[in-house]
C-alpha cells in the first residue's frame, strides 16, 4: 500500500509540474504573438500555428487505439474544438490593439467564468473554490494590470476569448470521456486550423 501511495503521489507531482510548464509556455505566447502579428495577418498566423500543432500530434494519436465516434459522442469533441477556435480568434484579434499583459489578465478571467457557467449545468462551486477564484482574480490583477483599464475594442475582443475558453474547459470535461487525450488534441488543433483557414482568403 505505501508503494502504491508513493506512485500516486509522484504522478500528482508530475501532473502539477506539467501544468506549471503549460502555464509558463502559455504566458510566453502573449508577447510573442504581439511580435508575430506585426508580420502576419491573424488568421494566417492561427491557421499555420494550429495546423503545425495538429501535424505534430498526429503520429502520437495514430499509435493510440480508438473506436468509432458517432452521434452525440462526437458532439462534445466538436463543441470543444469550436470553443477553442473562437477563443483564439477573439484573443488574436484583440492582441492587435490590447496590451499583452492586459490581454493575459482578461484571458485569465476564464478561471472565474468556469464555475459561473457551470451553474448552467447545476454545478455549484464549493466555498473553497469560490475563495480560490477570488484570490486568482486579485492575483492576476496585481501581476498584470498597471493603473486603470479603459476597455476598448481590443479588450472586449479578449473578453470574448475568456468566455470561449471557459466554455472550452466545460466542454473538455465531457469530451475527454468520448475521445482519447491524443486524438482529442489533434481534433481540437485541427478544428482551429480549419476554421481559421476559412477566413484566410478574406485577409490582405
Tell me the whole-structure pTM to 2 decimals: 0.74
pLDDT, position 48 = 92
* Residues with Cβ within 8 Å of residue 165, at least 6 apart in sequence: 83, 84, 87, 107, 110
Mean pLDDT by 10 residues, the chain (204 residues): 66 87 84 86 92 90 60 76 92 83 80 79 73 75 60 83 92 82 87 92 86
CB atoms within 10 A of CB 6: 10
DSSP type of residue 124: P
pLDDT, position 150 = 62
pLDDT, position 189 = 92
* CA neighbor of 37 nearest in space, from 99, 130, 109, 104: 99
pLDDT, position 145 = 59
pLDDT, position 26 = 80
* CA neighbor of 154 nearest in space, from 77, 96, 107, 105: 96
pLDDT, position 73 = 66
Longest alpha-carbon distance in the chain: 63
pLDDT, position 143 = 62
Amino acid at each position: 500500500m505505501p508503494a502504491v501511495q508513493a506512485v500516486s503521489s509522484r504522478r500528482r507531482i508530475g501532473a502539477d509540474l506539467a501544468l506549471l510548464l503549460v502555464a509558463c509556455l502559455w504566458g510566453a505566447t502573449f508577447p510573442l504573438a504581439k511580435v508575430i502579428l506585426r508580420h502576419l495577418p491573424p488568421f494566417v498566423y492561427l491557421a499555420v500555428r494550429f495546423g503545425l500543432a495538429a501535424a505534430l500530434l498526429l503520429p502520437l494519436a495514430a499509435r493510440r487505439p480508438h473506436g468509432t465516434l458517432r452521434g452525440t459522442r462526437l458532439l462534445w469533441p466538436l463543441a470543444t474544438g469550436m470553443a477553442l477556435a473562437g477563443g483564439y480568434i477573439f484573443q488574436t484579434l484583440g492582441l492587435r490593439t490590447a496590451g499583452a499583459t492586459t490581454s493575459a489578465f482578461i484571458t485569465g478571467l476564464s478561471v472565474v467564468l468556469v464555475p459561473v457557467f457551470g451553474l448552467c449545468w447545476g454545478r455549484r462551486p464549493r466555498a473553497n473554490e469560490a475563495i480560490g477564484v477570488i484570490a486568482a482574480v486579485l492575483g492576476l490583477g496585481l501581476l498584470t494590470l498597471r493603473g486603470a483599464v479603459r476597455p476598448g475594442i481590443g479588450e472586449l475582443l479578449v473578453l470574448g476569448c475568456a468566455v470561449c475558453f471557459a466554455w472550452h474547459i466545460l466542454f473538455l470535461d465531457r469530451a475527454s470521456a468520448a475521445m482519447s487525450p491524443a486524438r482529442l488534441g489533434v481534433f481540437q488543433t485541427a478544428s482551429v486550423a480549419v476554421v481559421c483557414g476559412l477566413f484566410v482568403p478574406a485577409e490582405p
